[in-house]
Chains A and B, each alone.
Chain A
């Protein structure tokens, strides 16, 4: 039996792509993880090609002990979300994986046009820490076994982004 996504997607999640999807993809990832970074262009390709049929969501699974900036980066994305710019920050973090120290995060916030004072206040907010920990625990309970781990329509997909792309291409008939 393959591992199942718990809890299911809800309005608490960051979701992009189709509002009425034929397929949902959830990625558990870590902004500092090189494998997640490698997966990102493929995920973007999937969304460019099939975004009308797919809803994509990202949940935080920072491996704090091996990636020292992963948790702060996740906080930055959640803080950007409060100003409606989650995906802008998400994309910028992956594009700058090798520079995720606090100054760099502030620069990114500025670059995407966030109100910096609001951003600085938000990163101190314990609710964001709780959100990330809750994402992490949901990942553990869903059977996340490395980063990135993808769930397709709620079932764990035991393959990487390229396998996912191939699967979608075969099954949509759009490729």
Chain B
């Protein structure tokens, strides 16, 4: 079951594409955090969720929100993907133990062996403010999380 609104977001520490650890608590009281769980790097470009969110980064910057992508790919894979697609935010490797963070957030697909496609908005206090689980084949788009960010302001 995907973690819902008003739940404390489980902390985690994962490697970024440079092999450096990134923790959720790094952003505590500083930034809103958007977690983008997705099945794998290297899906076709024009409909690729990561490429799309990356192009939208300036919109999220204005909203004081940091984007973090999470999949079971290794940091070497994330590095190659980041360079190839010019991804403007950090992709984190939920690699060992495999899918551990996705499991804590309730969005691991046991049968397929990868993270499901899911979005979480975590506020500056570390609470989940919004979450959404999308079918693997459908890129959810950014409208839901942008609406949720608007609601945080009110």
Contact = CB atoms under 8 A, between A and B. Distances in A.
A160 B93 CA distance: 32
A174 interface: no
Interface stretch (A74-82, A114-122, A138-146, A164-172): A138-146
A142 B85 contact: no
A39 B10 CA distance: 43
A147 interface: yes
A147 B47 CA distance: 6
A158 B146 CA distance: 20
Interface residues of B, number: 23
B52 A145 contact: yes
B55 A65 contact: yes
A73 to B, nearest CB: 15
B86 interface: yes
A64 B141 contact: no
A46 interface: no
B125 interface: no
B142 A63 contact: no
Interface string B32-66: 00000000000001111101101110010000000
A136 B141 CA distance: 13
Nearest to A34: B46
A88 interface: no
B144 interface: yes
Interface in A1-40: 3-4, 6, 30, 33-36
Interface residues of A, number: 24
Contact of B142 (A143, A147, A158): A143
| Chain A interface SS verdict (over half) | loop
B85 A143 contact: no
Nearest to B60: A140
A148 to B, nearest CB: 8
A140 B59 contact: yes
Contact of A35 (B46, B86, B140): B46
Contact of B54 (A34, A65, A137): A65
A38 to B, nearest CB: 10
A65 B45 CA distance: 10
28 contacts: A3-B144, A4-B143, A6-B143, A34-B46, A63-B46, A63-B51, A63-B52, A64-B55, A65-B51, A65-B85, A66-B85, A66-B86, A137-B59, A140-B56, A140-B141, A140-B146, A141-B142, A141-B147, A142-B143, A143-B141, A143-B143, A144-B52, A145-B138, A146-B46, A146-B139, A147-B46, A147-B47, A156-B141
Interface of B: 45-49, 51-52, 54-56, 59, 85-86, 88, 138-144, 146-147
